[in-house]
Amino acid sequence: MKQQPSDNKLRGGYYTPPAISKFLAAWAISEDTRSVLEPSCGDGNILVEVLSRASALDAPANVTAIELSESEAKKALRRAKDLGTNVAHVVRGGSFFDHAEKMLDRGSAFDAVVGNPPFIRYQDFPEDQRQQAFALMRRLSLNPSRLANAWLPFVALCTGLLTDRGRLAMVVPAELFQVGYASEVRQFLADSFDRISIVAFKKLVFPEIQQEIVLVLAERGAGKSRGVRVHEVEDASELGSMDLLALAKKATKPIDHASEKWTKYFLSKSEILLLRDLRERPDIPIMSKFIDVDVGVVTGNNDYFMLSKEEVADHGLSSSCIPLVGRSAALQGTLFEESDFQAWVKSGRKAYMFAPAAPHHRNVQRYVRHGQALGVNAGYKCRIRREWYVVPAVWRPDVFFLRQADSSPRMVANETTAICTDTLHRGRLVDGYNARSLSTAFVNSLTFAASEVTGRSYGGGVMTFEPSEMERLPLPVSGVDQLDPLEIDRLIREKKVDVALDMVDSITLIDGLGLTTKQVQALRGIWQKLRDRRRGRKN
């Protein structure tokens, strides 16, 4: 049974470690700071550091802290009073969105906002709060997606509550870098601030939720030094020794195309510009020219609909099941042949899907009744179907794609009659193209590098793609017919990815596109750098 989310998870209550709280306050507050907002103070970790910093600088600051939980607000107020600083402060209970609405109405503005917004997934975002938050975002000319998690309106509204020389210092999920629903806010931040510094961590700060976070340090009135810069540390303990002046002098990277994913800012300026130049070349097509990518089949209950060869025989369903790939482990190379499928069947895996066609014989009727006894028909996906046991949108793909990739992405030519579940993506070829050639061409350093800044990665270290993201990947194909698909398939199966890349790069990138060896090496380096950073989060 699925574990119910804890109260902490539902309200996003994962509190800021002291090292981060102190660092954010030190960066955001100067002698000239007159007003500070802490939008979700919890029990006061950031608040006490803000008060201590302002008091130490003798800054004439007024501090406003807000906390939804009444009990946590009382704790924060008590800690603030116990601190005994001479800084004026107030802790307000209630929803940040209620307070933000009043502040926007009054035209309130703060010199600094320091905070750690709640990590509430969109599924757990209370609908009344979501509606209010989105209405406030629309006042800032934003049009948020319903997929947006709760931290997103916090960041946007806090930005809208800053003065023209204000500073934003916030703990933000690394989703800001990657997810599509945050693209508008990435652009909003780029338009709202002169300079954005991002501090990332090699180790997870909140391992209990497998959520990678970054610190966003955004400033207005920064003068000519515009752009984005990224600084990476091992963990929060290194923040205490970080030289804030040195961070301020670190070179920025161009902030153009800020609605794109910000994963690219872990790269050097020259690497960013190389990817940008190649993306804009008209002779480098993208995946959608060749393939329509879609999610795999959604059964509604894999335990019921997926069967092994033995289970098919036991239930007498051989004429009512179709071959199926339900795990990426079945795809070892760039080709999926009948011998691969038979090996998967022989291993005892669930390699068939129940797909009865009318009229239903006795064994089918019996298996349908078995599903009803198990309650499969009551599940949402099954319940909304005309016939709950008939899975829709079933078709044989020309190619499979890894939806989640560990080391490298992959396209696999499907040379069987098998379909796939939504653990994979599937594709139909546009007329005139060949699956073997395209799956071979996919193994190149440009596509691999682009995949790391197009997909998204969470705390577990795997790269995840949506179908639309896969369709945007560049796919150079010039000269691919000179390559042997069987040879590339063999190399991928033997984990000799770099050897395969060398072969395909030489033909498609160097001979086909005219890239220099140095440029191809740079692309390979981009892929390896971002891959290794992503995979480093596994532990």
CATH code for the domain in which residue 239 is found: 3.40.50.150
Is there a single domain that holds both residue 212 and residue 305? Answer: no
Q: Is the dihedral of CA 418, 352, 408, 531 positive or negative?
A: positive
Decide if 271 is inside a domain: no
Given this model, what pLDDT does residue 240 score?
A: 84
> Which DSSP category does 286 fall into?
B
199: how many CB neighbours lie within 10 A of its CB? 25
Given this model, what pLDDT does residue 514 score?
A: 97
d(CA 77, CA 58): 21
Decide if 281 is inside a domain: no
Given this model, what pLDDT does residue 257 score?
A: 44
Given this model, what pLDDT does residue 7 score?
A: 44
Decide if 1 is inside a domain: no
Is there a single domain that holds both residue 367 and residue 500? Answer: yes
β-bridge partners, 399: 413, 427
Contact 351, 382 (CB under 8 A): no
Is there a single domain that holds both residue 98 and residue 27? Answer: yes
β-bridge partners, 307: 352
Given this model, what pLDDT does residue 224 score?
A: 62
Decide if 273 is inside a domain: no
Contact 315, 499 (CB under 8 A): no
Which among 118, 113, 174 is positioned nearest to 149, based on CA atoms?
118
Is there a single domain that holds both residue 226 and residue 356? Answer: no
Is there a single domain that holds both residue 504 and residue 372? Answer: yes
d(CA 281, CA 251): 27
Is there a single domain that holds both residue 304 and residue 179? Answer: no
Is there a single domain that holds both residue 182 and residue 295? Answer: no
Given this model, what pLDDT does residue 447 score?
A: 98
Give the ranges where 84-203 is alpha helix by DSSP (H). Answer: 96-106, 127-139, 151-160, 175-178, 183-192
- CA dihedral 525→526→528→529, nearest 10 degrees, is 110
Is there a single domain that holds both residue 254 and residue 308? Answer: no
Number of domains observed in the structure of the chain: 2
Is there a single domain that holds both residue 261 and residue 308? Answer: no
Decide if 300 is inside a domain: yes
Is there a single domain that holds both residue 313 and residue 188? Answer: no
144: how many CB neighbours lie within 10 A of its CB? 20
Given this model, what pLDDT does residue 184 score?
A: 86
In the block, tokens 């390896």 appear at 528
Pick from 235, 266, 297: which residue ends a domain?
A: 266
Given this model, what pLDDT does residue 200 score?
A: 86
* Phi and psi angles of residue 480, each rounded to the nearest 5 degrees, phi first: -60, -25
Is there a single domain that holds both residue 185 and residue 292? Answer: no
Decide if 280 is inside a domain: no
Given this model, what pLDDT does residue 242 score?
A: 81
Decide if 241 is inside a domain: yes
* Phi and psi angles of residue 115, each rounded to the nearest 5 degrees, phi first: -170, 175
Structural domain boundaries enclosing 146: 7-266
Is there a single domain that holds both residue 239 and residue 351? Answer: no
Q: Which helix (H) or strand (E) holds 54?
A: helix 45-57
Low-confidence ranges of the chain (pLDDT < 70): 1-14, 207-211, 223-225, 245, 249, 253-261, 458-459, 537-539
Decide if 518 is inside a domain: yes
Q: Three-class SS of residue 103?
A: helix
